[in-house]
Amino acid sequence: KTKVGILISGSGTNMKALIERTLQADSNCEVALVISNKANAGGLKIARENYHIETKVIECVGKTNAEREVYEKKIDDALRAAGVTLICLAGFMRILTASFVNKWRGRLLNTHPSLLPTFKGHDAVRQALAARVRFTGCTVHFVEAEVDSGAIIEQAPVRVEPHDTEESLQERIKLQEHIIFPQAMEAVASKRVHYQELNGGVRANGHC
Ligand code: 3YE
């Protein structure tokens, strides 16, 4: 089975959906380690107590490039020590350096709450409401150094309702992420989808 490492910063609802998928008989994955950059992330307790998965808190010391490298080295070491070969960013709210991304390219997935390439950035749901679109959604993509720009693996649309708030829309988007993120994890782990570089560009080859 593919050993998966999950990086979180918060309540861990996407993490929980990934773990639940790995507990099904036909899964090609097992979650070997959950890392949070926040000591108070609710997901840590869930991983440890409900699923008996090893957890680590690795907090960032600062935002300079040198400090980021130190911090990411700790993450990299912990993942390798646990035998991880596939990383899922599940509500992890840090931008990763190019050197980390390059080391894990093709084995590093993120979920984003919009139909990329529309509404990149940390406030994607707010952007969707401001633009008055009828549909937004979510995207699971391979991570590139440039944030939210990596090859798309899977997407799901979500209709924007007339009385939606950022919170209500975010909630419904999350429900879709809980479906497509586990699908994308399994598809990459079982090599139905793989990362491909082609003359300067990249794409996710295959289907979930
Ligand atoms: N890193 C790269 N490429 C990607 N991280 C994520 C996706 C992704 C990635 O596609 N290279 C918050 C939004 C980040 C933010 O801006 N954080 C800043 C400041 C943090 C702070 O103020 O504490 C930072 O430098 O990390 C995962 C989603 C990242 C969203």
* Predicted pLDDT of residue 200: 74
**CA 146 to ligand 1 centroid distance, Å:** 10
**CA 9 to ligand 1 centroid distance, Å:** 11
* Predicted pLDDT of residue 36: 98
Closest-CA residue, ligand 1 atom 10, reads 147
Looking at residue 47, the DSSP 8-state letter turns out to be I
- From 36, 61, 147, 149, give the residue whose CB has the most ligand 1 atoms within 8 Å, as the site to mutate: 147
* Predicted pLDDT of residue 65: 86
Report the chain's terminal Cα–Cα distance, integer Å. 18
**CA 122 to ligand 1 centroid distance, Å:** 8
Closest-CA residue, ligand 1 atom 15, reads 94
Closest-CA residue, ligand 1 atom 28, reads 93
Closest-CA residue, ligand 1 atom 17, reads 94
Per-residue pLDDT 10s for the chain (208 aa) are 999 999 999 999 999 999 999 999 999 999 999 999 999 999 999 999 999 999 999 998 888 988 999 999 999 999 999 999 999 999 999 999 999 999 999 999 999 999 999 999 999 999 999 999 999 999 999 999 999 999 999 999 999 999 999 999 999 999 999 999 999 999 999 999 999 988 777 889 999 8
* Predicted pLDDT of residue 41: 97
Angstrom distance (rounded) from CA 204 to CA 193: 6
Q: Which of 52, 112, 163, 207 is catalytic?
A: 112
Give the residues surrounding ligand 1 with Cβ less than 6 Å away.
63, 89, 92-96, 101, 110, 122, 143-145, 147-148, 150
Residue 47: count other Cβ atoms within 10 Å of its Cβ: 25
The question of whether 112 is a catalytic residue gets the answer: yes
* Predicted pLDDT of residue 44: 98
* Predicted pLDDT of residue 103: 97
* Predicted pLDDT of residue 133: 98
**CA 152 to ligand 1 centroid distance, Å:** 18
Measured CA to CA in angstroms, residue 171 lies from 80, 81, 113, 114, 150 at distances of 33, 35, 10, 13, 24
* Predicted pLDDT of residue 114: 98
